[in-house]
C-alpha cells in the first residue's frame, strides 16, 4: 500500500499556464495607475521572489500605489480565470495522486480566484485545501500550518514549485522541494538553488510518487 504524503502544489506556473496572462493584467493595472513603465519579461523571470508586491516595488510604486496595484491585479485575475488554461498532463496527475495522497495548493495568489479556476477546470475535487496570500505571503509559514492541520511528518511533505523562491521556502519549512521546468523560471535558474528533485513534465511527478510507494 502506498504511504500517504502531503503534496503542496504551487499554482501559477505549475498548475496554471499563467505567465503571459499575469503579465498582461499587471501591465494593465500599472497603466490604470498612470505608470507606463513595465519591466521586460526577462527581468520578471529573474526576480528572486515572484509576487505582485515585489513586481510593484520593481516598477517603483509607493506603498499606497502598490496596495492599489495588487488589489487591481487580484481583482482582474479573479474575474478573468476563464482565460487561463492548465498545463497539459495536470488533470491526469492530480486525479492520480489524489487517490493516495493529500493534495493542497500553496500560492501567492488569492484563494477565491484560484478556487474559481480549479472549479472551472474540474480540479476542485482533487484538492483538499488552498492556502493563498489571504493568510500570509510566506509559503514556509503556510506549509507549517498545513503540516499541523493534516498531522503529517515533514519527511512526507513535498512542495512542487517553478521558482527559486519555492525551493528556498521548502527548505525553510524543512520539507522536500520538487522543481518543475515548465513554469516561470528555467532549469538553469532552478538548479542554482539545488532542489531536492527536478521534473520536466507532470508525468514524471506521477512516476516519482509511484516509485515512493514501492520502496
Q: 104-145 pLDDT, tens per residue?
A: 999 989 999 999 999 999 999 999 999 998 777 789 999 999
Per the CB < 8 A criterion, the answer to whether 201 and 210 are in contact is: no
Residue (of 73, 74, 82) closest to 28 by Cα position: 73
Q: How far is CA 44 from CA 22, 33, 84, in A?
A: 11, 20, 19
Q: 49-59 pLDDT, tens per residue?
A: 889 999 999 99
pLDDT value of position 4: 94
- Which residue spans within the chain are E strands per DSSP? 6-10, 102-106, 129-131, 157-161, 176-180, 197-199
pTM of the model: 0.93
Per the CB < 8 A criterion, the answer to whether 124 and 115 are in contact is: yes
Amino acid at each position: 500500500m502506498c504511504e500517504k504524503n502531503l503534496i503542496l502544489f504551487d499554482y501559477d506556473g505549475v498548475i496554471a499556464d499563467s505567465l503571459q496572462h499575469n503579465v498582461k493584467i499587471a501591465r494593465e493595472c500599472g497603466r490604470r495607475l498612470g505608470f507606463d513603465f513595465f519591466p521586460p519579461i526577462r527581468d520578471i523571470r529573474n526576480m528572486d521572489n515572484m509576487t505582485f508586491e515585489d513586481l510593484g516595488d520593481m516598477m517603483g510604486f509607493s506603498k499606497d500605489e502598490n496596495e492599489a496595484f495588487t488589489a487591481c491585479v487580484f481583482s482582474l485575475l479573479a474575474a478573468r480565470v476563464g482565460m487561463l488554461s492548465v498545463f497539459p498532463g495536470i488533470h491526469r496527475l492530480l486525479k492520480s495522486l489524489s487517490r493516495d495522497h493529500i493534495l493542497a495548493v500553496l500560492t501567492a495568489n488569492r484563494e477565491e480566484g484560484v478556487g474559481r479556476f480549479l472549479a472551472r477546470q474540474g480540479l476542485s475535487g482533487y484538492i483538499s485545501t488552498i492556502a493563498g496570500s489571504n493568510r500570509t505571503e510566506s509559503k514556509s509559514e503556510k506549509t507549517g500550518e498545513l503540516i499541523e492541520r493534516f498531522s503529517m511528518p515533514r519527511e512526507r511533505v513535498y512542495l512542487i514549485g517553478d521558482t527559486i523562491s519555492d525551493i528556498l521556502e521548502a527548505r525553510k519549512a524543512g520539507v522536500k522541494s520538487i522543481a518543475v521546468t515548465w513554469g516561470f523560471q528555467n532549469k538553469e535558474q532552478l538548479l542554482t538553488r539545488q532542489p531536492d528533485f527536478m521534473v520536466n513534465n507532470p508525468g514524471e511527478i506521477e512516476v516519482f510518487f509511484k516509485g515512493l510507494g514501492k520502496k
